[in-house]
Amino acid sequence: MQEIVVAAITLFLVMDPFGNIPVFITVLKKVSDERKRAVLIRELFFALVIMVIFLFLGQHILNLFEIKQSSLAIAGGIVLFIISLGLIFGKGIDAVSPASANSNKEPLLVPLAVPLIAGPASLSVILLLAGKSPDKMGSWLIALLIAFAVNSIVLLLSFPISKFLGKSGMQAMERLMGLILALMAVNMVMNGIEQFIRSTL
C-alpha cells in the first residue's frame, strides 16, 4: 500500500497539474466555453492511454535496449530533478508553441495530452516503476489511475482554481510541488547509485 501511495504522489507531482493550469488556459482560451470541458476530457483520455501503454510495455523497452535498473533510476532522478528546478524557479508557459497558443483550432493530442500530461518526466517514472518491479504491475496501474484522477480533477477545475488562487498563489503551489519533487529525485539518484555499487561488488 505504501508503494502505491509513494508512486501515486510521485506521478502526480511530475504531471504538475498546477503548473500546467496557465498553459491549459492559454491553449483553450479560443475554444468555445461549450467545448472546453469536452476537449479537456478528450485530451486527458489520450494521455491516459499513452501512459498505460508505456506502463505495460516498459519492461520490454528496457530489455530491448538492455538498460539496467541502476541506470534507469539515476537517469530518471536527474530528469525529475531538472523538472523540479523548473517548478521551483518558474517555467512559465514556454512549453506551448506560439502556433498552438494562437491557433483557432481545437488542440488534438499536442500539446495538452503530450507533452503536458503524458510528458517525458511522467513517462520516465512509469518506465522506472515498470522496470523496478514488473511483478507489481497491478499496483503501479492503481497508482497511475489515482495520480491521473487527481490530476484530471485539478485540470478540469483549472479556470476556477486559477481565479481563486491568483498568480501568486499558483506560483507558491508550483514551487512547493517542485521542492517535494526535488527531494524525491535526489533519493531516486541515491538509490540508483546504491544499486550500481551493489551490482559491481
| 180 compared with 51, residue with greater pLDDT | 51
| 43 compared with 198, residue with greater pLDDT | 43
pLDDT at 95 over 60: no
Q: What is the mean pLDDT of residues 111-129?
A: 84
Distance from C-alpha of 171 to C-alpha of 167, rounded to nearest angstrom: 6
pTM above 0.85, yes or no: no
Cell numbers placing 73: 533510476
Cell numbers placing 130: 515498470
CB 62 within 8 A of CB 124: no
* Segment 18-70, tens digit of pLDDT: 878 877 887 787 788 889 999 999 999 999 999 999 999 977 877 788 877 78
C-alpha pair distances (Å), 53 with each of 3, 187, 197: 21, 26, 32
For residue 103, what pLDDT band results from cuts at 50, 70 and 90? low
Residue 108, SS3? strand
Distance from C-alpha of 159 to C-alpha of 36, rounded to nearest angstrom: 10
